[in-house]
Amino acid sequence: MSGRHSGGTGSRLRISALPKTLKTISKLAPRQLADEIALAKAEIKRKGTQLGVAGAFFAVALVFILFLVIGLVVAAIMGLATIMPAWLAALLVCGVCLIIAAIGALIGRNKLMKVMPLVPEETIRGLKYDFGIAKEGSAFDPAVLDPNSDQYKAAKAAKEAAAAKAKAEKEAKAAAQPDFGPPPTEAELLYRLAQRRTHLTGVREDLGRELDIKTQARVLLAAAQARLQDVIEQLNGAVERLKAKTAGFRSALAARSSQLPSVDGQVLAGQVKERWKPLAVLAASGAALAVLLRRLLKG
């Protein structure tokens, strides 16, 4: 028997573990059901043995009750023998017992003949007829329901042949199965059931956590926030690097323009101003985006 279903949800996303959990449940549930059935059979067998012992004691009690009845009959005969001959007393008691037994047997026979046969034949015949109509439609032959007809005998023979074939296939399949040794005892079944119940409890708890929408939403939100924070940090780094490069370029251009003539320096300064204007706009946009993302995360 395997151990508990390991692994909790924690702060990680466990939706991907759902198929594995369901697979574990699908494996454990049939085994649990099979062991429950085996345990029920073991309990029935044990109780059947106890019932047999109880029946034996009841049989002993009935035997002694029979002896009691015999003693009462003898006592009645001996009592009547005080006022009449013993043989006449015995004959009188036996005659009374015979009359009572005959009356009871006749009444019981009449009652039994009224209810025979015990099965509801008309209901069964009607159900068979309805089933035949539903299965074959107008092609159904009601003669197969008559026990004296040839169709009934042929259908019965075909059914018996099919049952014999199914029985033979079942026996062959049972013989082909490997021998797993003696069946488990009732104590072993109880132990296995307890272990598997503990396992199923853990699996059920994990499944509940994996299917918890709030928990999964919090995990997804935390993952999204972490990714967004990484993106913001990357944008901030890119903006800082862009600012540093812009400052370096401006310093280099300023140093270079100071070495050129005044007229050419003014022209060059105008060209530089027009060229780096888009870069300044890009830097300002990046900074505004970073501030906006920070406010969204704080909110």
Q: What is the pLDDT of residues 179-196, one digit of tens each?
A: 666 777 878 888 888 888
Per-chain mean pLDDT for the chain: 77
Q: How confident is the model at residue 57 (pLDDT cuts 50, 70, 90)?
A: very high
pLDDT digits (tens, 9 = 90+) for 16-28: 566 777 777 777 7
Cα gap 221→223, rounded to integer Å: 5
- Tell me the per-residue pLDDT of 67-96, one tens digit each, with 9 for 90 and over: 998 988 889 888 888 888 888 888 888 898
* Window from 79-83, 231-235, 291-295 with minimum mean pLDDT: 291-295
For the segment 31-55, the average pLDDT, to the nearest whole number, is 86
Give me the pLDDT at residue 270, please.
62
Global pTM reads 0.41
Q: Which of 84-88, 122-126, 286-290 shows the highest mean pLDDT?
A: 84-88
Ordered by start, the domain boundaries in the chain are 40-116, 214-298
pLDDT at 242 over 90: no
